[in-house]
Structure 1
Amino acid sequence: MAMGQMPKALLERPALLPGLDFYFNAYIDLQNDRPMGMAIGPIPWSSIVTFAQIHSLDLDDLHELNHLIRKMEQADREHDEKKGNA
């Protein structure tokens, strides 16, 4: 790659809609709470609830947070399967 040329992955990265960075950052923060064993488990519900409480989310926001966390987990699994890391 020539000096100063942006990598293809950065050029093609998806843009987050305003406000979605909160959920993405929550997902990154909560990754450390995953149980480890023979395989990496899902982020525990209790960790998502605690995160929501710390950030003063109401019940609707908690459900949205959980929904988006689960969708990001699914996308990660699908990505790993495509790469052969599953």
Structure 2
Amino acid sequence: MSSTINDVIDYNEIFLTKEKATALFNQLMSYSDLTNMVKIETESGEKFNLNFGKMMFLDNELIAKNALPKSIWGNTMEWSEHIIPIKKQVEN
């Protein structure tokens, strides 16, 4: 599977079927926070434009507590319907 971010994505069909991988890829590509370049400005004012986006997926409890504030950690969201089964599979 090829992406618009100049990268190649590989998957193991035993772990993740091609259909599930395609659904996950399409869902991730729909998040503008993942497809827009990350812009970082250091305390000294130096600016960097990175050729990728960023999103951190968190448990709802962490989001509710604002444990990882956007101002420091960047954009966050609760685990999506396509990602939560993979998270559980990795944890087990």
Q: TM-score, normalised by structure 1?
A: 0.32
The structure that is strand-richer by fraction is 2
The structure that is helix-richer by fraction is 1
Q: TM-score, normalised by structure 2?
A: 0.30
